[in-house]
Protein backbone atom coordinates (compact mmCIF):
# COMPACT_ATOMS: atom_id res chain seq x y z
CA UNK A 1 0.00 0.00 0.00
CA UNK A 2 1.31 3.46 -0.93
CA UNK A 3 1.59 5.76 2.06
CA UNK A 4 -0.09 9.18 1.92
CA UNK A 5 1.61 12.23 3.33
CA UNK A 6 0.23 13.74 6.54
CA UNK A 7 1.48 16.83 8.32
CA UNK A 8 0.60 15.44 11.73
CA UNK A 9 -0.44 12.15 13.31
CA UNK A 10 -1.81 12.19 16.84
CA UNK A 11 -1.18 8.57 17.82
CA UNK A 12 -1.74 5.94 20.49
CA UNK A 13 -4.59 7.68 22.29
CA UNK A 14 -6.19 5.58 24.98
CA UNK A 15 -9.53 6.84 23.66
CA UNK A 16 -10.76 9.11 20.89
CA UNK A 17 -14.25 10.59 21.16
CA UNK A 18 -15.37 11.85 17.75
CA UNK A 19 -18.64 13.70 18.57
CA UNK A 20 -19.60 13.03 14.96
CA UNK A 21 -23.03 13.78 13.55
CA UNK A 22 -24.96 15.93 11.06
CA UNK A 23 -23.88 19.51 10.41
CA UNK A 24 -27.07 20.89 11.96
CA UNK A 25 -26.41 19.01 15.21
CA UNK A 26 -27.73 16.02 17.10
CA UNK A 27 -31.39 16.69 17.88
CA UNK A 28 -33.50 15.19 20.64
CA UNK A 29 -32.53 11.74 21.84
CA UNK A 30 -29.79 11.47 19.19
CA UNK A 31 -27.64 13.67 21.44
CA UNK A 32 -26.97 10.58 23.56
CA UNK A 33 -25.01 8.78 20.85
CA UNK A 34 -21.24 8.41 21.12
CA UNK A 35 -18.42 7.02 18.97
CA UNK A 36 -15.28 5.94 20.83
CA UNK A 37 -12.07 4.57 19.32
CA UNK A 38 -9.55 2.83 21.56
CA UNK A 39 -5.84 3.04 20.73
CA UNK A 40 -7.00 5.84 18.45
CA UNK A 41 -5.30 8.27 16.10
CA UNK A 42 -6.06 11.38 14.04
CA UNK A 43 -4.26 12.23 10.79
CA UNK A 44 -4.04 15.89 9.70
CA UNK A 45 -2.95 17.64 6.51
CA UNK A 46 -3.21 21.30 5.61
CA UNK A 47 -4.98 22.07 8.88
CA UNK A 48 -7.77 19.62 8.03
CA UNK A 49 -8.55 16.17 9.43
CA UNK A 50 -7.67 13.41 6.98
CA UNK A 51 -8.78 10.38 8.94
CA UNK A 52 -9.73 9.14 12.39
CA UNK A 53 -9.23 5.53 13.39
CA UNK A 54 -7.04 2.94 15.03
CA UNK A 55 -3.39 3.91 15.42
CA UNK A 56 -2.01 0.81 13.68
CA UNK A 57 -4.33 1.38 10.72
CA UNK A 58 -3.45 5.07 10.30
CA UNK A 59 0.28 4.46 10.70
CA UNK A 60 0.01 2.05 7.79
CA UNK A 61 -1.91 4.53 5.62
CA UNK A 62 -0.01 7.76 6.37
CA UNK A 63 3.59 8.97 6.51
CA UNK A 64 3.46 11.93 8.95
CA UNK A 65 5.95 14.77 9.07
CA UNK A 66 5.24 15.09 12.80
CA UNK A 67 3.86 12.76 15.45
CA UNK A 68 2.22 13.76 18.69
CA UNK A 69 2.17 10.87 21.12
CA UNK A 70 -1.09 10.67 23.07
CA UNK A 71 -0.31 7.48 24.99
CA UNK A 72 -2.68 7.14 27.97
CA UNK A 73 -4.66 10.21 26.91
CA UNK A 74 -8.11 11.11 25.64
CA UNK A 75 -8.37 12.93 22.30
CA UNK A 76 -11.44 15.03 21.46
CA UNK A 77 -12.61 17.87 19.24
CA UNK A 78 -11.92 21.40 20.42
CA UNK A 79 -14.66 22.79 22.65
CA UNK A 80 -17.03 25.38 21.20
CA UNK A 81 -18.37 28.12 23.49
CA UNK A 82 -21.41 29.48 21.68
CA UNK A 83 -22.38 32.32 24.03
CA UNK A 84 -20.06 34.76 25.78
CA UNK A 85 -19.76 38.43 26.67
CA UNK A 86 -16.05 38.81 26.03
CA UNK A 87 -15.39 42.56 26.10
CA UNK A 88 -16.27 44.45 29.28
CA UNK A 89 -14.57 46.37 32.07
CA UNK A 90 -14.71 46.01 35.84
CA UNK A 91 -15.75 43.29 38.28
CA UNK A 92 -19.05 42.81 40.05
CA UNK A 93 -17.81 40.47 42.76
CA UNK A 94 -19.07 42.83 45.48
CA UNK A 95 -22.54 42.79 43.99
CA UNK A 96 -22.57 39.00 43.89
CA UNK A 97 -21.69 38.71 47.56
CA UNK A 98 -24.56 40.98 48.49
CA UNK A 99 -26.95 38.89 46.41
CA UNK A 100 -25.78 35.56 47.83
CA UNK A 101 -25.61 36.55 51.48
CA UNK A 102 -28.71 38.71 51.46
CA UNK A 103 -27.02 41.08 53.91
CA UNK A 104 -27.81 44.12 51.83
CA UNK A 105 -29.41 44.97 48.52
CA UNK A 106 -27.72 48.36 48.25
CA UNK A 107 -25.13 47.21 45.71
CA UNK A 108 -27.69 45.32 43.64
CA UNK A 109 -29.89 48.38 43.52
CA UNK A 110 -26.99 50.35 42.03
CA UNK A 111 -27.33 48.64 38.76
CA UNK A 112 -26.03 45.18 37.82
CA UNK A 113 -25.49 45.30 34.05
CA UNK A 114 -25.59 49.09 34.17
CA UNK A 115 -22.49 49.12 36.40
CA UNK A 116 -20.61 47.12 33.76
CA UNK A 117 -21.91 49.48 31.08
CA UNK A 118 -20.58 52.54 32.91
CA UNK A 119 -17.12 51.00 33.37
CA UNK A 120 -16.97 49.73 29.79
CA UNK A 121 -17.89 53.09 28.31
CA UNK A 122 -14.97 54.65 30.19
CA UNK A 123 -12.45 51.90 29.45
CA UNK A 124 -9.57 52.46 27.04
CA UNK A 125 -9.37 50.34 23.91
CA UNK A 126 -5.98 48.93 24.84
CA UNK A 127 -7.22 47.82 28.25
CA UNK A 128 -10.29 46.10 26.81
CA UNK A 129 -8.16 44.28 24.24
CA UNK A 130 -5.55 43.26 26.82
CA UNK A 131 -8.23 41.80 29.09
CA UNK A 132 -9.92 40.00 26.19
CA UNK A 133 -6.65 38.43 25.07
CA UNK A 134 -5.89 37.31 28.63
CA UNK A 135 -9.33 35.72 28.85
CA UNK A 136 -8.91 34.03 25.47
CA UNK A 137 -5.56 32.61 26.61
CA UNK A 138 -7.31 31.06 29.62
CA UNK A 139 -10.14 29.70 27.48
CA UNK A 140 -7.69 28.17 25.03
CA UNK A 141 -5.67 26.55 27.80
CA UNK A 142 -8.90 24.94 29.06
CA UNK A 143 -9.82 23.53 25.63
CA UNK A 144 -11.98 26.19 23.94
CA UNK A 145 -11.03 26.67 20.31
CA UNK A 146 -14.09 28.60 19.04
CA UNK A 147 -15.95 31.36 20.89
CA UNK A 148 -18.98 33.52 20.14
CA UNK A 149 -18.42 37.02 21.57
CA UNK A 150 -21.22 39.54 22.11
CA UNK A 151 -21.29 43.25 22.70
CA UNK A 152 -23.95 44.48 25.12
CA UNK A 153 -21.97 46.48 27.67
CA UNK A 154 -21.96 49.69 25.67
CA UNK A 155 -25.65 50.35 25.08
CA UNK A 156 -24.92 53.49 23.11
CA UNK A 157 -23.90 54.02 19.52
CA UNK A 158 -20.24 54.85 20.09
CA UNK A 159 -19.44 52.09 22.57
CA UNK A 160 -21.41 49.30 20.91
CA UNK A 161 -19.76 49.91 17.55
CA UNK A 162 -16.38 50.36 19.25
CA UNK A 163 -16.77 46.97 20.95
CA UNK A 164 -17.57 45.36 17.60
CA UNK A 165 -14.51 46.90 15.96
CA UNK A 166 -12.32 45.78 18.85
CA UNK A 167 -13.72 42.25 18.71
CA UNK A 168 -12.84 42.05 15.04
CA UNK A 169 -9.33 43.32 15.68
CA UNK A 170 -8.37 40.55 18.11
CA UNK A 171 -5.63 38.29 16.75
CA UNK A 172 -5.79 34.99 18.62
CA UNK A 173 -5.69 31.22 18.12
CA UNK A 174 -9.27 30.99 19.38
CA UNK A 175 -11.73 31.64 16.53
CA UNK A 176 -13.96 34.53 17.65
CA UNK A 177 -17.45 34.89 16.16
CA UNK A 178 -18.73 38.48 16.69
CA UNK A 179 -22.32 39.22 17.71
CA UNK A 180 -24.07 42.57 18.11
CA UNK A 181 -26.13 42.75 21.32
CA UNK A 182 -27.27 46.34 21.38
CA UNK A 183 -30.61 45.07 22.70
CA UNK A 184 -29.20 43.60 25.92
CA UNK A 185 -31.20 45.67 28.41
CA UNK A 186 -32.48 49.24 28.18
CA UNK A 187 -29.71 51.64 29.24
CA UNK A 188 -30.30 54.06 32.10
CA UNK A 189 -30.86 56.93 29.65
CA UNK A 190 -33.85 55.12 28.10
CA UNK A 191 -35.51 53.36 31.02
CA UNK A 192 -38.63 55.50 30.57
CA UNK A 193 -38.64 55.27 26.78
CA UNK A 194 -37.56 51.82 25.64
CA UNK A 195 -39.15 52.34 22.23
CA UNK A 196 -36.72 55.16 21.52
CA UNK A 197 -33.83 52.88 22.44
CA UNK A 198 -35.15 50.16 20.15
CA UNK A 199 -35.15 52.77 17.38
CA UNK A 200 -31.49 53.52 18.16
CA UNK A 201 -30.58 49.81 18.12
CA UNK A 202 -32.18 49.50 14.69
CA UNK A 203 -30.40 52.64 13.49
CA UNK A 204 -27.07 51.06 14.43
CA UNK A 205 -27.76 47.83 12.57
CA UNK A 206 -26.37 48.74 9.12
CA UNK A 207 -23.01 49.68 10.61
CA UNK A 208 -23.09 46.80 13.10
CA UNK A 209 -23.70 44.37 10.23
CA UNK A 210 -20.31 45.31 8.80
CA UNK A 211 -18.61 43.84 11.88
CA UNK A 212 -21.02 41.27 13.35
CA UNK A 213 -22.11 37.92 11.97
CA UNK A 214 -25.10 37.77 14.31
CA UNK A 215 -27.58 40.09 15.98
CA UNK A 216 -28.69 39.04 19.46
CA UNK A 217 -31.89 40.32 21.09
CA UNK A 218 -32.93 39.92 24.71
CA UNK A 219 -36.57 38.84 24.75
CA UNK A 220 -37.10 38.72 28.49
CA UNK A 221 -38.91 40.68 31.24
CA UNK A 222 -35.63 42.45 32.08
CA UNK A 223 -34.91 43.14 28.41
CA UNK A 224 -37.40 43.84 25.63
CA UNK A 225 -40.82 42.68 24.54
CA UNK A 226 -41.40 40.18 21.77
CA UNK A 227 -42.76 42.96 19.55
CA UNK A 228 -39.69 45.12 20.13
CA UNK A 229 -37.36 42.18 19.50
CA UNK A 230 -39.29 41.28 16.35
CA UNK A 231 -38.65 44.78 14.97
CA UNK A 232 -34.92 44.49 15.63
CA UNK A 233 -34.62 40.91 14.42
CA UNK A 234 -36.55 41.51 11.19
CA UNK A 235 -34.33 44.43 10.25
CA UNK A 236 -31.19 42.47 11.13
CA UNK A 237 -32.30 39.61 8.89
CA UNK A 238 -32.93 42.05 6.06
CA UNK A 239 -29.28 43.08 6.42
CA UNK A 240 -28.12 39.47 6.17
CA UNK A 241 -27.34 38.94 9.85
CA UNK A 242 -28.07 35.71 11.67
CA UNK A 243 -30.31 35.95 14.75
CA UNK A 244 -29.66 34.83 18.33
CA UNK A 245 -32.11 35.36 21.18
CA UNK A 246 -31.59 35.75 24.91
CA UNK A 247 -34.85 33.97 25.63
CA UNK A 248 -37.10 33.82 28.67
CA UNK A 249 -34.41 33.72 31.36
CA UNK A 250 -36.37 35.44 34.13
CA UNK A 251 -39.88 34.85 32.82
CA UNK A 252 -41.81 33.83 29.71
CA UNK A 253 -41.68 36.79 27.34
CA UNK A 254 -42.42 34.73 24.23
CA UNK A 255 -38.73 34.41 23.34
CA UNK A 256 -38.94 30.79 22.25
CA UNK A 257 -41.80 31.38 19.83
CA UNK A 258 -40.12 34.54 18.53
CA UNK A 259 -36.84 32.67 17.94
CA UNK A 260 -38.76 30.07 15.93
CA UNK A 261 -40.61 32.75 13.97
CA UNK A 262 -37.33 34.47 13.06
CA UNK A 263 -35.64 31.11 12.46
CA UNK A 264 -32.96 32.18 14.89
CA UNK A 265 -29.74 30.22 15.05
CA UNK A 266 -30.18 29.88 18.81
CA UNK A 267 -32.44 30.69 21.72
CA UNK A 268 -30.35 30.93 24.86
CA UNK A 269 -31.39 30.27 28.50
CA UNK A 270 -35.04 29.28 27.78
CA UNK A 271 -35.59 28.80 31.55
CA UNK A 272 -39.23 29.82 31.26
CA UNK A 273 -39.91 28.93 27.64
CA UNK A 274 -43.00 26.66 27.59
CA UNK A 275 -43.04 23.28 25.89
CA UNK A 276 -44.87 24.74 22.88
CA UNK A 277 -42.08 27.28 22.42
CA UNK A 278 -39.41 24.60 22.60
CA UNK A 279 -41.27 22.48 20.06
CA UNK A 280 -41.58 25.49 17.74
CA UNK A 281 -37.82 26.02 18.07
CA UNK A 282 -37.17 22.38 17.20
CA UNK A 283 -39.32 22.66 14.07
CA UNK A 284 -37.48 25.84 13.03
CA UNK A 285 -34.01 24.37 13.60
CA UNK A 286 -33.23 26.79 16.43
CA UNK A 287 -30.65 25.47 18.88
CA UNK A 288 -31.46 25.72 22.60
CA UNK A 289 -28.39 26.78 24.61
CA UNK A 290 -28.29 26.09 28.36
CA UNK A 291 -25.99 27.50 31.03
CA UNK A 292 -25.17 25.38 34.06
CA UNK A 293 -22.59 27.99 35.12
CA UNK A 294 -25.38 30.54 35.54
CA UNK A 295 -27.43 28.07 37.53
CA UNK A 296 -24.45 27.36 39.76
CA UNK A 297 -23.35 30.96 40.24
CA UNK A 298 -26.83 32.18 41.10
CA UNK A 299 -27.43 29.20 43.37
CA UNK A 300 -30.16 27.82 41.10
CA UNK A 301 -32.11 31.06 41.11
CA UNK A 302 -32.13 34.31 39.24
CA UNK A 303 -32.29 37.11 41.83
CA UNK A 304 -34.18 40.24 40.98
CA UNK A 305 -35.47 43.33 42.71
CA UNK A 306 -39.13 43.44 43.66
CA UNK A 307 -40.60 46.14 45.89
CA UNK A 308 -37.09 47.09 47.05
CA UNK A 309 -36.28 43.55 48.10
CA UNK A 310 -34.14 40.87 46.52
CA UNK A 311 -36.32 37.87 45.69
CA UNK A 312 -35.87 34.83 43.42
CA UNK A 313 -38.59 33.82 41.00
CA UNK A 314 -39.77 30.25 40.99
CA UNK A 315 -37.51 28.55 38.47
CA UNK A 316 -38.06 25.10 36.92
CA UNK A 317 -35.99 22.32 38.37
CA UNK A 318 -32.86 22.31 36.24
CA UNK A 319 -32.85 18.64 35.22
CA UNK A 320 -36.44 19.12 34.08
CA UNK A 321 -35.40 22.08 31.92
CA UNK A 322 -32.72 20.03 30.17
CA UNK A 323 -35.08 17.09 29.76
CA UNK A 324 -37.79 19.30 28.24
CA UNK A 325 -35.37 20.81 25.76
CA UNK A 326 -34.14 17.39 24.64
CA UNK A 327 -37.57 15.75 24.52
CA UNK A 328 -38.95 18.65 22.44
CA UNK A 329 -36.63 17.56 19.64
CA UNK A 330 -34.34 20.58 19.93
CA UNK A 331 -30.66 20.52 19.21
CA UNK A 332 -29.30 21.43 22.66
CA UNK A 333 -25.92 23.04 23.37
CA UNK A 334 -24.08 24.16 26.50
CA UNK A 335 -22.07 27.34 26.99
CA UNK A 336 -20.31 29.41 29.64
CA UNK A 337 -22.32 32.64 29.18
CA UNK A 338 -19.04 34.20 30.32
CA UNK A 339 -19.93 37.61 31.79
CA UNK A 340 -19.14 39.73 34.87
CA UNK A 341 -22.49 39.21 36.58
CA UNK A 342 -24.21 35.85 36.34
CA UNK A 343 -21.44 33.56 35.05
CA UNK A 344 -17.84 34.72 35.54
CA UNK A 345 -16.26 31.50 34.28
CA UNK A 346 -13.94 31.06 31.30
CA UNK A 347 -13.89 27.27 31.42
CA UNK A 348 -16.00 24.97 29.28
CA UNK A 349 -14.63 22.15 31.43
CA UNK A 350 -16.45 23.70 34.38
CA UNK A 351 -19.61 23.90 32.28
CA UNK A 352 -19.32 20.21 31.41
CA UNK A 353 -18.81 19.25 35.03
CA UNK A 354 -21.72 21.36 36.27
CA UNK A 355 -24.01 20.05 33.52
CA UNK A 356 -23.74 16.57 34.96
CA UNK A 357 -24.22 17.71 38.54
CA UNK A 358 -26.99 20.27 38.09
CA UNK A 359 -28.77 19.13 34.91
CA UNK A 360 -28.20 15.38 35.40
CA UNK A 361 -26.92 14.98 31.86
CA UNK A 362 -24.90 11.94 30.77
CA UNK A 363 -21.35 12.03 29.45
CA UNK A 364 -22.20 11.58 25.77
CA UNK A 365 -24.89 14.28 25.92
CA UNK A 366 -22.49 16.75 27.47
CA UNK A 367 -19.68 16.11 25.00
CA UNK A 368 -22.01 16.49 22.01
CA UNK A 369 -23.56 19.66 23.45
CA UNK A 370 -20.14 21.30 23.91
CA UNK A 371 -18.77 20.42 20.50
CA UNK A 372 -20.95 19.56 17.49
CA UNK A 373 -24.20 21.07 18.74
CA UNK A 374 -22.51 24.27 19.84
CA UNK A 375 -20.79 24.51 16.44
CA UNK A 376 -24.17 23.96 14.75
CA UNK A 377 -25.62 26.93 16.67
CA UNK A 378 -22.91 29.09 15.08
CA UNK A 379 -23.56 27.75 11.59
CA UNK A 380 -20.25 25.89 11.68
CA UNK A 381 -21.32 22.28 12.16
CA UNK A 382 -20.02 21.48 8.67
CA UNK A 383 -16.51 22.68 9.54
CA UNK A 384 -16.07 22.31 13.32
CA UNK A 385 -17.26 20.41 16.34
CA UNK A 386 -16.27 16.81 15.60
CA UNK A 387 -13.28 14.70 14.64
CA UNK A 388 -14.44 14.00 11.11
CA UNK A 389 -12.52 13.91 7.81
CA UNK A 390 -12.68 17.27 6.06
CA UNK A 391 -13.24 19.34 9.19
CA UNK A 392 -10.73 21.79 10.62
CA UNK A 393 -8.22 20.06 12.86
CA UNK A 394 -9.16 21.68 16.19
CA UNK A 395 -8.16 18.91 18.60
CA UNK A 396 -7.64 18.54 22.35
CA UNK A 397 -5.36 16.01 24.05
CA UNK A 398 -6.43 15.42 27.65
CA UNK A 399 -4.43 14.20 30.65
CA UNK A 400 -6.94 11.43 31.34
CA UNK A 401 -7.58 8.21 29.39
CA UNK A 402 -11.41 8.29 29.15
CA UNK A 403 -13.98 10.91 28.20
CA UNK A 404 -16.04 10.44 31.35
CA UNK A 405 -13.13 11.43 33.56
CA UNK A 406 -13.15 15.00 32.21
CA UNK A 407 -16.67 15.38 33.61
CA UNK A 408 -16.30 13.25 36.73
CA UNK A 409 -13.24 15.15 38.01
CA UNK A 410 -13.48 18.84 38.80
CA UNK A 411 -11.31 21.68 40.03
CA UNK A 412 -8.30 20.87 37.81
CA UNK A 413 -7.49 21.80 34.22
CA UNK A 414 -7.20 18.44 32.46
CA UNK A 415 -6.05 19.74 29.05
CA UNK A 416 -2.56 18.65 27.95
CA UNK A 417 -2.33 19.95 24.37
CA UNK A 418 -4.44 22.18 22.14
CA UNK A 419 -4.22 21.87 18.36
CA UNK A 420 -5.87 24.57 16.21
CA UNK A 421 -6.04 24.06 12.45
CA UNK A 422 -3.40 21.36 12.78
CA UNK A 423 -0.91 23.49 14.75
CA UNK A 424 -0.04 22.99 18.41
CA UNK A 425 -0.88 26.28 20.15
CA UNK A 426 -0.91 25.23 23.80
CA UNK A 427 0.42 22.34 25.85
CA UNK A 428 3.35 20.79 27.62
CA UNK A 429 3.81 17.80 25.31
CA UNK A 430 5.40 19.08 22.16
CA UNK A 431 5.09 17.45 18.82
CA UNK A 432 7.81 14.99 17.98
CA UNK A 433 9.34 15.90 14.62
- pLDDT of 301: 54
* Residue ranges per structural domain of the chain: 4-78+383-427, 79-346
DSSP reduced 3-state for 417: strand
Kindly report the CATH number that applies to the domain delimited by 79-346. 3.20.20.140
Sequence-separated (6 or more) residues with CB below 8 Å from residue 433: 65, 66
Angle (deg, nearest 10), helices 318-327 and 348-359: 100
Bridge partners (DSSP) listed for residue 147: 81, 176
C-alpha–C-alpha distance, residues 46 and 287, integer Å: 31
Q: Out of 295-309, 321-335, 347-361, which region has the weakest mean confidence (pLDDT)?
A: 295-309
CB 63 within 8 A of CB 4: yes
When the candidates are 3.10.20.90, 2.30.40.10, 2.170.190.11, 2.70.150.10, the CATH number that belongs to 4-78+383-427 is: 2.30.40.10
Asked whether residue 61 carries a pLDDT value surpassing 80, the answer given is yes
User: Mean per-residue pLDDT for 230-244?
Assistant: 98
Reported as type and span, the H/E element at residue 11 is strand 4-17
Distance CA(378)–CA(84), nearest Å, equals 12
Strand partners, 290: 334
Residue 309 pLDDT > 70, yes or no? no
The rounded distance, in Å, linking the Cα atoms of 73 and 401 is 4
pLDDT at residue 172, rounded to an integer: 97
Q: Three-state DSSP class for 245?
A: strand
d(CA 176, CA 419): 16
Q: Which long-range contacts (CB under 8 A, 24 or more apart) does 164-172 make?
A: 164/208, 164/211, 164/212, 165/211, 166/87, 166/125, 166/128, 166/129, 166/132, 167/86, 167/87, 167/132, 167/211, 168/211, 169/129, 170/129, 170/132, 170/133, 170/136, 172/133, 172/136, 172/137, 172/140
More reliable by pLDDT, 251 or 280: 280
Whole-number percent of the chain with pLDDT over 90: 85
Which residue spans within 193-294 are E strands per DSSP?
214-219, 242-247, 266-269, 287-290
Q: 105: how many CB neighbours lie within 10 A of its CB?
A: 17
Q: 3-class SS at 84?
A: strand
Q: Could you tell me the pLDDT band of residue 179, with boundaries at 50, 70 and 90? A: very high
Range 323-345 average pLDDT = 96
Q: Tens digit of pLDDT for each residue in 19-31?
A: 999 999 999 999 9
Question: What are 372-418's pLDDT values in tens digits?
Answer: 999 999 999 999 999 999 999 999 999 999 999 999 999 999 999 99
Q: Judge whether residue 167 has pLDDT over 60.
A: yes
Average pLDDT in the chain: 93
Model confidence at 308: pLDDT above 70: no
pLDDT at 108 over 50: no
- The model carries a pTM of 0.94
Amino acid sequence: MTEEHADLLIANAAEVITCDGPADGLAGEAVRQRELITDGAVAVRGGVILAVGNTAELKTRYRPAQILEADGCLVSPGLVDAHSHLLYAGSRHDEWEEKVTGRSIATALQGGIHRSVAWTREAKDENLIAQAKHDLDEMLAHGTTTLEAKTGYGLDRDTELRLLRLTNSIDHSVTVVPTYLGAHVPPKEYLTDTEAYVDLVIEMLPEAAQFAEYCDICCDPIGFSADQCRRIGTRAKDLGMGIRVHSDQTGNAGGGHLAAELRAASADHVDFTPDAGLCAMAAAGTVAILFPGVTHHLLEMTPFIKDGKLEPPEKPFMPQLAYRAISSGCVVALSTDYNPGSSPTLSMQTVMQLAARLFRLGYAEIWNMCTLNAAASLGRGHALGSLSPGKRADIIVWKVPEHGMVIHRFGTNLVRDVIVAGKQVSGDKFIIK
